[in-house]
């Protein structure tokens, strides 16, 4: 609880004998009521003395009262054990019977997971077009994609009135051919640096007409093609359109997007929400406040997009932020995950694994996208392979986790009840059953559920 100002952003920091952690958690505290701050940190070296500080992040003079505090230590091994994949798996019982409904004991059952339920993918660029080895490599691993730049306004309409979706259409053909889902990124980018130059010169009704045409053109053409749209990208850091069109501009963007593509999930996509708590523009409470404000205005927004451009990740802080966002009951996606190129490739791989495990293990994270589109001169920050599609350390991590997060081929025999049970990752399965001189193949979908999935197959 604070005294003085009506509200203030309170930051927790930590100092040990050897290190200072400038931010290990934040909360937007309000006068007269208690607020919950949840954060975390990783000690690089053992410490005999640690001091935890609480202070205002915006230089507001407030009194801070603390009712209770607790600190739960974890070793790396204990932390990994707590990363359970319970929501990603479900118990299954396969029942085998003959045409009379009599259960068959001793039938050989072979089970194979042929598709995964959890969306895990990467950005792609136009460099994938015509590059068949790269296409094969991508489709073998990922079930989701996002276009790195090819849907952005500066790419589709570099000059006013010269709209060209040719590249995006060709990339979409690759997506469709391989049954890959795709996110729409993005309709508008609030950073003026990435706004088409001709748009930056527009004002008033001319700008309003241009943005209206942008939404209508893009979403009418691609209606039902993209599962998500990042509507107003990075609005916590930049406000190009609201400065020029007024405070309700963002509301109108979401309303129009829903009108033209009503089944797409509309996202609020932002950086430095889950990566750190040091950025006062995008703390978890700042994100939540803006999202609630838009929802109260009638916005059809049902997705939280956390970009995930990490340098050195802080998994305990990441978990605390995800937990707080999860209280909104809105699907969360990690939308642009990579590790800074300022680190060596081995460190990138180590930190990438930490982020991916933390994201996959959190029950409110519904998908993960990497920001690793391959270019002749490399990638934005982190590549999974070299230009010959040979794995770099980060690629090895991805391949390892893809294998770990899939049910391995199972073979068993039906018991005296004619049943065979297993615990598998959600997705699509193929079942081969053999009994004496008879054999049958069938498929079933394993979706999320608390109860055991029962699947019957008849020979």
Q: What is the pLDDT along the chain (459 residues), one digit of tens a residue?
A: 788 777 899 999 999 888 888 899 999 998 889 999 999 999 888 888 889 999 987 777 888 888 888 888 888 888 888 887 889 999 999 999 999 999 999 999 999 999 999 999 999 999 999 999 999 999 999 999 999 999 999 999 999 999 999 999 999 999 999 999 999 999 999 999 999 999 999 999 999 999 999 999 999 999 999 999 999 999 999 999 999 999 999 999 999 999 999 999 999 999 999 999 999 999 999 999 999 999 999 998 899 999 999 999 999 999 999 999 999 999 999 999 999 999 999 999 999 999 999 999 999 999 999 999 999 999 999 999 999 999 999 999 999 999 999 999 999 999 999 999 999 999 999 999 999 999 999 999 999 999 999 999 999
Q: How many domains does the chain have?
A: 2
Position 99 in a domain: no
Position 433 in a domain: no
Q: Are residues 190 and 280 in the same domain?
A: yes
Position 423 in a domain: no
**Catalytic option among 307, 336, 353, 358:** 336
Percent of the chain with pLDDT over 70: 100
What gap in Å lies between CA 118 and CA 79, rounded to an integer? 22
**Catalytic option among 148, 190, 234, 270:** 234
Tally the C-alpha atoms within 13 A of residue 393's C-alpha that lie toward its C-beta: 13
Q: Are residues 139 and 233 in the same domain?
A: yes
Position 92 in a domain: no
Q: Are residues 20 and 133 in the same domain?
A: no
Q: Are residues 42 and 145 in the same domain?
A: no
How far is residue 226 from each of residues 112, 175, 259, 381, measured CA to CA in Å?
29, 10, 15, 25
Position 94 in a domain: no
Q: Are residues 10 and 154 in the same domain?
A: no
Instruction: Judge if the upstream peptide bond of residue 186 is cis by omega within 30 degrees of 0.
Output: yes
| SS3 assignment for the chain | CEECCCEEEEEEEEEECCCEEEEEEEEEEEECCCCCCCCCCCCCCCCCCEEEEEEECCCCCCEECCCCCCCCCCCHHHHHHCCCCHHHEEEEEEEEECCCCCECCCCEEEEEEEEECCCEEEEECHHHCCCHHHHHHHHHHCCEEEECCCCCHHHHCCCCCCCCCHHHHHHHHHHHHCCCEEEEEEEEECCHHHCCHHHHCCCHHHHHHHHHHHHHHHHHHCCCCCCEEEEEECCCCCCHHHHHHCCCHHHHHHHHHHHHCCCCEEEEEECCCCCCCCCHHHCHHHHHHHHHHHHHCCCCCCEEEECCEECCCCHHHHHHHHHHHHCCCCCEEEEEEEECCCCCHHHHHHHHHHHHHHHHHCCCEEEEEECCCCECCECCCCCCECCCCCECHHHHHHHHHHHHCCCCCEEEECCCCCEEEEEEECEEEEEEEEECCEEEEEEEEECCCCCCEEEEEEC
Domain ends where: 29, 56, 73?
73
What's the pLDDT score for residue 57? 77
CATH of the domain at 226: 3.20.20.80
Tally the C-alpha atoms within 13 A of residue 184's C-alpha that lie toward its C-beta: 28
What gap in Å lies between CA 180 and CA 121, rounded to an integer? 9
Domain ends where: 367, 394, 413?
367
**Signed CA dihedral, 332, 336, 338, 340: sign only:** negative
- Statement: the pTM of the whole predicted model exceeds 0.75: yes
Q: Are residues 148 and 225 in the same domain?
A: yes
Is 293 an active-site residue? no
CB 113 within 8 A of CB 444: no
pLDDT in tens, 298-308: 998 899 999 99
Position 336 in a domain: yes
Q: Are residues 141 and 28 in the same domain?
A: no
Q: Are residues 68 and 142 in the same domain?
A: no
Tally the C-alpha atoms within 13 A of residue 335's C-alpha that lie toward its C-beta: 29
What's the pLDDT score for residue 236? 98
Is 451 an active-site residue? no
CB 120 within 8 A of CB 430: no
Reading the block at residue 5, the tokens are 């100002």
Q: Are residues 144 and 277 in the same domain?
A: yes
Domain ends where: 367, 390, 407?
367
- Structure-token match 């309170």, residue found: 10
Sheet containing 427-435: give its strands across. 410-413, 108-116, 427-435, 438-446
Structural domain including 215 reads 129-367
Position 283 in a domain: yes
Q: Are residues 244 and 349 in the same domain?
A: yes
Q: Considering only CA atoms, which of 172, 191, 289, 275 is closest in space to residue 233?
A: 191
Position 456 in a domain: no
């Amino acid at each position: 609880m604070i005294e003085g100002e009506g509200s203030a952003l309170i930051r927790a920091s930590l100092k040990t004998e050897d290190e200072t952690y400038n931010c290990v958690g934040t909360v937007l505290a309000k006068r007269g009521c208690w607020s919950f701050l949840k954060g975390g940190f990783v000690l690089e070296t053992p410490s005999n003395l640690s001091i935890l500080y609480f202070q205002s992040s915006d230089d507001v003079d407030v009194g801070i009262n603390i009712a209770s505090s607790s600190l739960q230590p974890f070793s790396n091994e204990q932390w990994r054990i707590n990363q359970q994949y319970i929501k990603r798996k479900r118990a299954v019982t396969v029942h085998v019977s003959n045409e009379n409904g009599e259960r068959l004991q001793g039938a050989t059952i072979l089970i194979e997971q042929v598709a995964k339920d959890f969306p895990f993918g990467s950005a792609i660029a136009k460099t994938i077009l015509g590059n068949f080895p790269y296409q094969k490599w991508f489709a073998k691993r990922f079930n989701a994609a996002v276009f790195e730049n090819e849907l952005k306004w500066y790419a589709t309409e570099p000059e006013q009135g010269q709209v060209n979706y040719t590249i995006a259409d060709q990339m979409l053909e690759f997506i469709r051919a391989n049954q890959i889902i795709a996110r729409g990124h993005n309709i508008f980018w609030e950073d003026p640096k990435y706004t088409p130059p001709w748009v930056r010169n527009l004002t008033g009704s001319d700008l309003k007409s241009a943005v209206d045409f942008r939404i209508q053109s893009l979403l009418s053409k691609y209606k039902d093609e993209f599962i998500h749209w990042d509507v107003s990208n990075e609005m916590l850091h930049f406000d190009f359109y609201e400065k020029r069109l007024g405070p309700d501009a963002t509301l109108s963007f979401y309303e129009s997007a829903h009108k033209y593509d009503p089944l797409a999930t509309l996202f609020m996509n932002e950086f430095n929400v889950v990566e750190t708590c040091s950025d006062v523009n995008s703390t978890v409470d700042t994100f939540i406040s803006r999202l609630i404000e838009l929802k109260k205005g009638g916005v059809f927004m049902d997705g939280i997009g956390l970009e995930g451009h990490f340098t050195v990740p802080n998994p305990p802080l990441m978990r605390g932020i995800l937990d707080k966002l999860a209280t909104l009951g809105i699907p969360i996606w990690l939308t642009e995950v990579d590790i800074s190129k300022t680190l060596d490739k081995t460190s990138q791989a180590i930190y990438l694994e930490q982020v991916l495990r933390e994201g996959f293990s959190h029950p409110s994270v519904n998908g993960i996208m990497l920001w690793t589109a391959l270019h002749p001169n490399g990638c934005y920050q982190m590549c999974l392979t070299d230009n010959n599609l040979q794995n770099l350390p980060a690629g090895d991590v991805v391949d390892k986790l893809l294998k770990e997060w899939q049910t391995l081929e199972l073979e068993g025999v039906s018991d005296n009840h004619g049943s065979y049970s297993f615990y598998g990752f959600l997705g699509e399965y193929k079942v081969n059953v053999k009994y004496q001189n008879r054999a049958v193949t069938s498929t079933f979908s394993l979706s999320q559920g608390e109860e055991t999935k029962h699947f019957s197959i008849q020979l």
